[in-house]
Structure 1
Amino acid sequence: MSTQQKHNFGAGPCILPISVMEKAASSVINWDGSGLSILEVSHRSAEFEEVVAKTQLLVRELLSVPEDYEVLFLQGGASTQFSMVPQNLLQASGNKKGAYLDTGYFAQKAIEQARHFGEVQIVASSREKGYNYIPDNYSLHHDAAYLHLTSNNTIEGTEIFEFRNFGVPLVCDMSSDIFSREIKVSDFDLIYAGAQKNMGPAGMTLVIIKKTLLTKIKYPLPAMYDYRTYAANNSMYNTPPVFSIYVSMLNLLWLKDQGGVSAIEKQNIKKAELLYEAIDKSEIFYGTADGGHRSRMNVTFQCRDKKHENGFLNYAQERGIVGTKGYRSVGGFRASLYNALPLFSVEFLVKTMAYYEKMQEMKNANQSQKIGA
C-alpha cells in the first residue's frame, strides 16, 4: 500500500532530511558497526566524545565562530535560557537592568523570567500592533547589563535582519533561524538556540558564548545553571542529550554538503519569496507581518473571510500538506520553511492555494447563476 507524500510545514520539531533520518534510524539499532545503539552508548566513551567534538567543529565551521567563543550543548530548550541568561548576567550586575526588545510571545516569556533576577527595561515593543513588525527606533539606558533580542518570532512571523551595536553585551535567542542564514557571530556576546528547528531533534540547546563574558561571572551559581560548568566540562558535566547531539551532527554534515549556510540561505530566500508572492496576489489570503520584517522561516497569513479557514486546512491536509495551522492564540495559517523543507513542497503549497481559490471562484459563479435563474 502506497503512502501519500507529506509536505511538513510544522513549526517544530523541525523537518529533517531523509538521509539524516535514515542514518539516525540505522544507528538506533547498530551505531557505525559497533553492535551498540546510539541510545545506549556511553557518553564517556572516546567514540561519543568524538561526536561532541565533531559537532562543535561543524558549528564553528558553518557559522564561522571565532576562537574566543565557547560552543556549548545544554538541555532545557530556549525556555531554560530565559532564566539562565539573567541568572548569569543580571543577578550580580549591581543596579543594572536587563534590556529586552519585546517582539512577540517568546520575547515576552524571556522578559517574564528575567524579572525573577533583577530589573527589566523593555526598550521597545510592537505589542500594540499585534507584534506584526520589529521596532527599530529605540535606545538603551546607560545602566543596561545586556540587550536581549529574539531574532525570529515563530508565532508572529517576523524576523530581525540587522543587529545594532549599543556597546553592551548582545544576547540573542536564535532558536528558529540559526543556520538558515549567514550571521556575524562576533556581533553577539551570547547566542542560544533550541536545536529543534534547523539543527536537529528536540532535546539539545546550542549556546555560543564569548569567553570574556564567562570571566565576568564572579559569583557561585547552581552547577546546572552556570555556563562555566558546561565550558569547563566540554558540555558533559552530566549525561548530555546523546541522541540529539548525534543527529545534529548528521544534520550539520548534510548542511555542509548543501554548500553551507550561504547556499541554504539562497534557497530559503527563494522559498519565502515564492510563498509571499502567492499570498500577496491572493484574493482569499493575506499576510500578517509587515513587509519589511517578514520572516523567511515562519510565513504567517490569514483568510480575508474566516469561513475559508477550516475549508482550506482540510483541503490542504487531504493533499498531504501538514503543519500549516496557525498558533492557537493567533489562528490563521503558518507555513514554516526550515532548511530541510524542499522547494517543491513550497511550490506544491502555492499550487494548492491557487487551486482552492479557483474552486471557490467556480462555486461562487455557480451560486450566482442559480440565483439569476
Structure 2
Amino acid sequence: MPSRDEVHYFGAGPAPLPTAVLEAASKALLNYKDQGIGLCEISHRSADANEILADAKSALKTLLEIPDDYEILFLQGGGSGEFSAVVTHLVGIWVEKRRLRAQEDLTVALADGKEPGSKDDLAEKVFARLQKEVAEELKLDYLVTGSWSLKASQEAARLVGQDKINVAIDSRKSNEGKFRTIPPESEWSLTKRKREGGPGSALVYFCDNETVDGVEFPRFPTLLEPHQEDEVDNDQTLVVADMSSNFISRKVDVSKYAVIFGGAQKNVGNAGVTIVILRKSLLPPTINVASPDLLRRLGIAVAPVVFDWPTIAKNNSLYNTLPIFDVWIAGQVMKHLVESFGERRIGGQEEVSTQKAHALYSTLDDYPDVYGVVPDKSCRSRMNICFRVCGGKADKEKEFIGGAEKRGLLGLKGHRSVGGIRCSNYNAVTQDGVQKLVQYLSDFARSAA
C-alpha cells in the first residue's frame, strides 16, 4: 500500500488538501479542543462554530484583501446552487430598482397632471410599466467559454426564460463546436442600455476558469471595467464570476465584481460548502429584492430561502445547519496560505501556481508530435491543463494514464464529456508532484516517438 507521500493526485475535484490540514482534521474529528466530542458533533450555533466561521472569513479577507463593503457568505449547494441564486437575487434587485423608479416617476406625473388617473391608480400603473419593462428590457448577459458557463446560462434560461438570456459570446462558434479560446472583446455583444440611469442588463456572468475545458480568463475583461461616472450598483454593470476552480490561486481586485462565488472542493477545502463574496450594497437595507408576490405576478422565479442571500447574510450564514467541519477545513487551508506567504498574501500562491503551470505547459510544448494542448495559448488555464495524447488516440491515452498510475500520478483522466487528459494544478498539488509529472511526460513522449 503506497504512502501519502508516494502518491500525487491531479483530479479536478474533490481535489487534494494539504497534508498538515488533514492531520489536524483527523484529531479534530475525534476530539475538538479536548472537549471529548468531535468537530462534526458540535452545534452550528455554538460559540466554537461562530469562532470557526469568523476565522475563515478573516483569513479569506486577508488573502484577497476584500474591501469592508463586501459580505462573505458560506452556503451549501455548490457552484450549481449559485447558478440559480445569482439569477433570482440580481433579477429581483433589477425589478425592485425599476419598481422604485416607476413609482417615483408616476407619482410626480400624477401630481403634475401629466399622467391621467388618480393616486389610487398608482399601484396598477406601476405594475403595468414594470410588466412592460420586464417583457422588453430584462436581459442577463452570459459569456459562454466552457461547460460550466454554458450550464449557468442554461439554468438562467430555465428560471427566467430563454428570451431573457443574451449569450454575449459563445466561443464554440469559432472553434468547430469546441471550447478552446475566448473571443476578442470587440466581438462581444453585451446588452446595451435602453434608457438613461440604468444598466443594460441585470448582470454579466462569466466563469473565470473552466475546469472541464482548460480555459481561463488571463485578466479581468476591459469591457467590464467600471466607469467612473457610473454610480455604484445603479448604473454599473453587475459583474458575476464563478471562481470555483481558481479561487485563492491568484490576485483578484474584488472591487470590480458585484459577486464572486466558488465551491470549496478544488482549492479551498472539501465538498460541502460554497463561498460567496458579495457587495453589501446588494443587500438590505441599501436595496431589497422585489417582493415574492410581485415577482410571482410578473412570472419571475423566487429563490428558495436557503439560497436567499439577504436571509443568509442576516443570519451570519447560520440560517440552516451549516457544515461547520467543512468551514473549518476551508479556514485552515486559508490560514495556512496566510502564514506561508505573509505580506505577499495571495500573490505568493499566484507565483507558485504560475511556476507549476509553466513547467507543465513547457514540457507539453516540447513534444508537439505527441501532445496537443486543447485551449489556445492566450487563455490556457493555470489550474486545469487539458491536452490530448497522440492526436487523441484512445489506446495511447489509455496507455498514458496507465503508465502515470504506476508512478503514483493519479486523477489525470479528462472529463467524461470531452475525454483526453486533464492535470489539475490546484494549490495543494506540490511542486515535487509537478516535477514527477513533468519527468513522466518527457519519458512517455520519448518512448512514443
Q: Which residue of 2 aligns with 1:323?
A: 411
Q: Which residue of 1 aligns with 2:147?
A: 105
Match of 2:440 among 343, 352, 361: 352
Residues 180-216 of structure 1: CA deviation (Å, up to 9, x unaligned): 0000000000011000111111100000110111224
Are 1:181 and 2:250 an aligned pair? yes
Q: Which has the higher helix share?
A: 2
- Which amino acid is the alignment partner of residue 444 of structure 2? Y
Q: Which residue of 1 aligns with 2:180?
A: 132
Q: Distance in 1 between matches of 2:386 and 2:291?
A: 43
Q: Which residue of 2 aligns with 1:252?
A: 334
Q: Distance in 1 between matches of 2:307 and 2:17?
A: 30
Are 1:266 and 2:351 an aligned pair? yes
Within a 5 Å distance, the mapping from 1:163-242 to structure 2 comes to 163=220, 164-165=224-225, 167-214=236-283, 215-220=287-292, 221-242=303-324
Q: Which residue of 2 aligns with 1:146?
A: 203
CA distance change for structure 1 residues 2 and 182 in 2, over 3 Å: closer, same or farther?
closer
Within a 5 Å distance, the mapping from 1:70-89 to structure 2 comes to 70-89=71-90
Runs of 5+ consecutive residues of structure 2 not aligned to the other structure: 96-133, 194-199, 227-235, 293-302
Q: Distance in 1 between matches of 2:37 and 2:218?
A: 44
Deviation at 1:2? 5.5
CA RMSD of aligned residues (A): 1.4
Q: Distance in 2 between matches of 1:331 and 1:90?
A: 36
Runs of 5+ consecutive residues of structure 1 not aligned to the other structure: 362-373
Q: Which residue of 1 aligns with 2:373?
A: 287
CA distance change for structure 1 residues 123 and 28 in 2, over 3 Å: closer, same or farther?
same
CA distance change for structure 1 residues 2 and 11 in 2, over 3 Å: closer, same or farther?
closer
Q: Name the SS of the counterpart of 1:116 in structure 2.
A: helix
Q: Distance in 2 between matches of 1:231 and 1:173?
A: 19
Q: Distance in 1 between matches of 2:225 and 2:288?
A: 20
Match of 2:427 among 321, 332, 339: 339
Q: How many residues align?
A: 361
Q: Distance in 2 between matches of 1:240 and 1:287?
A: 40
Q: Which residue of 2 aligns with 1:367?
A: none
Deviation at 1:136? 3.1
Is the Cα–Cα contact under 8 Å of residues 240 and 259 in structure 2 kept in the other structure?
yes
Deviation at 1:59? 1.1
Is the Cα–Cα contact under 8 Å of residues 149 and 172 in structure 1 kept in the other structure?
yes
- Which amino acid is the alignment partner of residue 340 of structure 1? A
Deviation at 1:87? 0.9
- Which amino acid is the alignment partner of residue 325 of structure 2? F
After TM superposition, the score normalised by the length of structure 1 is 0.94
Q: Distance in 1 between matches of 2:88 and 2:307?
A: 8
Q: Distance in 1 between matches of 2:267 and 2:138?
A: 34
Residues 246-294 of structure 1: CA deviation (Å, up to 9, x unaligned): 1111111111122031101000000000000000011311111100100
Q: Distance in 2 between matches of 1:85 and 1:270?
A: 34
Q: Distance in 1 between matches of 2:14 and 2:145?
A: 22
Q: Distance in 2 between matches of 1:354 and 1:328?
A: 25
Is the Cα–Cα contact under 8 Å of residues 44 and 323 in structure 2 kept in the other structure?
no
Q: Distance in 1 between matches of 2:311 and 2:76?
A: 13
- Which amino acid is the alignment partner of residue 196 of structure 1? Q
Residues 155-204 of structure 1: CA deviation (Å, up to 9, x unaligned): 11010122232631000100000100000000000011000111111100
Within a 5 Å distance, the mapping from 1:12-31 to structure 2 comes to 12-31=13-32
Q: Distance in 2 between matches of 1:133 and 1:311?
A: 28
CA distance change for structure 1 residues 168 and 271 in 2, over 3 Å: closer, same or farther?
same
CA distance change for structure 1 residues 254 and 217 in 2, over 3 Å: closer, same or farther?
same
Greater CA drift, 161-170 or 311-320: 161-170
Q: Name the SS of the counterpart of 2:378 in structure 1.
A: helix
Q: Distance in 2 between matches of 1:185 and 1:250?
A: 22
- Which amino acid is the alignment partner of residue 291 of structure 2? Y
Q: Name the SS of the counterpart of 2:158 in structure 1.
A: coil
- Which amino acid is the alignment partner of residue 158 of structure 2? H
Q: Name the SS of the counterpart of 1:145 in structure 2.
A: coil
Is the Cα–Cα contact under 8 Å of residues 262 and 275 in structure 2 kept in the other structure?
yes
Between structure 1 and structure 2, the one with the greater Rg is: 2
Deviation at 1:69? 0.8
User: Could you list the runs of 4 or more consecutive aligned residues of structure 1 that deviate by over 4 angstroms after TM superposition?
Assistant: none
Residues 61-82 of structure 1: CA deviation (Å, up to 9, x unaligned): 1111111111000000000111
Is the Cα–Cα contact under 8 Å of residues 90 and 117 in structure 1 kept in the other structure?
no
